[in-house]
Amino acid sequence: MAKIKSLAELQKKRDELQAVAAKTKNEKVIVNVSLATCGIASGGKEVMEAMKQEAAALGINNVEFTMSGCMTYCFAEPTVEITLPGKEPVVFGYIKGDKAKELVSKYIKSGELVDGVIPASYERIVF
């Protein structure tokens, strides 16, 4: 990997990465699964796998799967955040059993909301 040699280079790198992220966000469905110790323990990895399989089975191929750390909703693990192209992210909790497939066949496929939406009750600092 090329080393970053100055603050200007770092800023350039950030701008490039943000441009890529913005493009992805416009074109693809982003599925972000909470995979901290707690999320993994409650079945987050299985949820991700089930969603990948369901997407493949339904022929949906514009989905990008990512992982993150703790989404802070211990009471509702496993949790998944889905961002439809051009839309605001929505966090779904309690994704157990067939619920993972339902997220793909309903929300991702046709934008139909399913139970377990967790409203965002925070303001997040960005810079």
Partner 1 sequence: MVDKNQLRIATRNTGFIDPESVESYIAVGGYQALGKCLAEMKPADVIDLMKNSGLRGRGGAGFPTGVKWGFAAKYASDTKYVVCNADEGDPGAFMDRAVLEGDPHNVLEAMAIGGYAIGGNKGTIYIRAEYPLAIARLKLAIQQAKDMGLLGDNIMGTDFSFDIELKYGAGAFVCGEETALIASMEGNRGEPYTKPPFPAEAGYWDKPTIVNNVETLANIPAIIMKGADWFSGIGTETSKGTKVFCICGKINNVGLIEVPMGTSLKTVIYDVGGGIPDGKEFKAVQTGGPSGGALTYKDLDAPIDYENLVARQSMMGSGGMIVMDEDDCMVAVAKFFLDFTMDETCGKCTPCRIGSKRIYEILDKITIGQGTEADLEKLRSLSHNIKDTALCGLGQTMPNPVLSTMRVFEDEYRAHVIDKKCPAGVCADLLEFTVVEEKCVGCTLCARVCPVNCISGKPKEVHVIDQAACIKCGACLDKCKFDAIIKQ
Is 36 a binding residue for partner 1 by CB under 8 A? The answer is yes
- List of residues 6+ apart from 32 with CB closer than 8 A: 66, 67, 68, 80, 81, 82, 83, 89
Is 120 a binding residue for partner 1 by CB under 8 A? The answer is yes
Smallest gap from Cβ 81 to partner 1, in A, equals 8
Residues 68, 65: Cα–Cα separation, whole Å = 10
**For partner 1, which residue of 29, 30, 31, 34 counts as binding (CB under 8 A)?**
34
Give residues 60-79 in contact with partner 1 (rule: CB under 8 A). Answer: 66-75
Query: Which is nearer to partner 1, 4 or 57 (by Cβ)?
Result: 4
3-state SS class at 16: helix
Residues 16, 91: Cα–Cα separation, whole Å = 27
Using an 8 Å Cβ cutoff, are 30 and 24 in contact? yes
Query: Which is nearer to partner 1, 79 or 101 (by Cβ)?
Result: 79
Residue 92: its H or E element: strand 90-92
From 8-16, 51-59, 94-102, 103-111, span contacting partner 1 (CB under 8 A): 8-16
Is 117 a binding residue for partner 1 by CB under 8 A? The answer is no
* Contact set with partner 1 (CB under 8 A): 1-7, 9-11, 13-14, 17-18, 21, 32, 34, 36-38, 40, 66-75, 81, 119-127
